[in-house]
Structure 1
């Protein structure tokens, strides 16, 4: 089997699900420390922002051919995610306990996107070289994938999985925090 296919399968069936599980574990830690009465809506919104920052390149790579444009999106969103992750912990640490379990979840939430980005760069080495040499002409459009990664049912199954383990829990966290924020009348 081709190394690129192996890397894609590792991302689809190992890295992406682990990232979702780590996000759920992180949410459980937030709930246990009563984020709604400690660091509140500000931190909860940072969590949602980080999910969106990583969700965009994941969906782009699952739906479109990877070219210079997609690589730029992946790199920019990864850098911005790292900045917000630093800001998040710096904001939360003095306001609530960050347990050892949450630190472990953060390890996965920070490292898995880097592993996936590195894998994407290796798989699409020619596009990465074009990016680095600023030869972007003809590589800045969104070209839908002819054949989806994984199986034809992978994307819907992954979206359902992420909805259950990340999207709905973090919406619940936002609503819980917003409710407390509004009750305080701040």
Structure 2
């Protein structure tokens, strides 16, 4: 197996699943601290936003050839994710307990997108050179991949994995927080 293929395998079968697992651990921590009664729907929606900010570049890289447009989207999404993640912790810290487990999950959730981006840049180094040289001619369009990454059937399995570990838990968290926000408050008279 050549280095290029090895990097793709590490990205697909180590980094992408680890990101989903770290997100699930983070969700478990939110549930344990009763996020719905503390920082509430606002923080929960921010978690979903951060998932989308990393999910879009992942899907683009799995479905399309990485060109300057895809790489620009990946770079912008990573930068926005970092800004939102910083704001998220700043918002949540005074409102609820952030356990050592949650901090550990956050370290993965912050570092893995950077590692994935770095690997995408290394795997597609000629594209990065074009981006830096502003040689973008013909590269600002989506170009479908000729073949799926990781072999036949990777994308449906990965999407199912992420649905179970990320999409469904965070949808549940959003609904739980929304129900709590809409619940009538008792007043003492």
In structure 2, what is the Cα distance between the partners aligned to 1:41 and 1:133? 43
Listed one character per residue, the Cα deviations across residues 12-48 of structure 1 (whole Å, up to 9, x for unaligned) are 0000000000000000000000000000000000000
Runs of 4+ aligned structure 1 residues displaced above 4 Å come to none
Listed one character per residue, the Cα deviations across residues 36-85 of structure 1 (whole Å, up to 9, x for unaligned) are 00000000000000000000000000000000000000000000000000
SS at match of 1:162: helix
Q: How far apart are residue 2 of structure 1 and its match?
A: 1.6
Listed one character per residue, the Cα deviations across residues 117-151 of structure 1 (whole Å, up to 9, x for unaligned) are 00000111110011011111111111110011001
Which residue of structure 1 lines up, in the alignment, with residue 79 of structure 2? 79
Residue ranges of structure 1 left out of the alignment (5+ in a row)? none
In structure 2, what is the Cα distance between the partners aligned to 1:184 and 1:60? 42
In structure 2, what is the Cα distance between the partners aligned to 1:119 and 1:29? 29
In structure 2, what is the Cα distance between the partners aligned to 1:46 and 1:4? 35
Give yes or no for the alignment of 1:29 onto 2:25.
no
**Larger Rg over CA atoms:** 2
SS at match of 1:21: helix
Q: How far apart are residue 184 of structure 1 and its match?
A: 4.5
Residue pairs, 1:44-83, within 5 angstroms: 44-83=44-83
Instruction: Quote the RMSD (CA, aligned, Å).
Output: 0.8
Which residue of structure 2 lines up, in the alignment, with residue 139 of structure 1? 139
SS at match of 1:4: helix
SS at match of 1:151: coil
In structure 2, what is the Cα distance between the partners aligned to 1:125 and 1:11? 16
TM-score in terms of structure 2 length: 0.96
Q: How far apart are residue 183 of structure 1 and its match?
A: 1.2
TM-score in terms of structure 1 length: 0.98
In structure 1, what is the Cα distance between the partners aligned to 2:103 and 2:126? 36
Which residue of structure 2 lines up, in the alignment, with residue 152 of structure 1? 152
In structure 1, what is the Cα distance between the partners aligned to 2:126 and 2:97? 45
Listed one character per residue, the Cα deviations across residues 91-139 of structure 1 (whole Å, up to 9, x for unaligned) are 0000000000000000000101100100000111110011011111111
In structure 2, what is the Cα distance between the partners aligned to 1:52 and 1:89? 18
In structure 2, what is the Cα distance between the partners aligned to 1:85 and 1:157? 27
